[in-house]
Amino acid sequence: HPGCMVQIGLNMGARHARTLGWAKSFTRKLSDSTMTCEDHDVIAAGALFWSFAQYIMPHEIIMEIKDAIKGMPNLATRNVPPGEFFQLTLNDKTYYFPDAGRSPHTIYLTDAYTA
């Protein structure tokens, strides 16, 4: 397939080796601080998208989703533990959102991906 697709967050493992854990999101060697910064930015993007979805979609649909994932952790990674807040870095300045919620436990990012 052209392009790429990356899973961020909770992962069920490969079809032949089921396991529940945080997905390995990086394929190239990066420093721990770089991976953590990138993960924080992805968590922020997911949180913003989830906030928009909750605002735009009918309340009944959002409640069905929330009921289905009740008890599951919010989005986290191997480098950023579960929690409620998120942060976003733009132009070397970090913005903290301590009272905003994260998105559900898994998101997919794509770049020029076609199936």
DSSP string, 45-65: HHHHHHHHHHHHS-HHHHHHH
- Return phi, psi of residue 75, to 5°: -55, 130
Residuewise pLDDT in 10s, the chain (115 residues): 789 998 999 998 888 888 888 888 787 899 999 999 999 999 999 999 999 999 999 999 999 999 999 999 999 999 999 988 999 999 999 999 998 889 999 999 999 998 8
pLDDT at 17: 82
Pairing assessment for the beta strands 106-111 and 93-97 based on DSSP bridges: unpaired
* Alpha-carbon radius of gyration of the chain: 15
pTM: 0.86
pLDDT at 105: 94
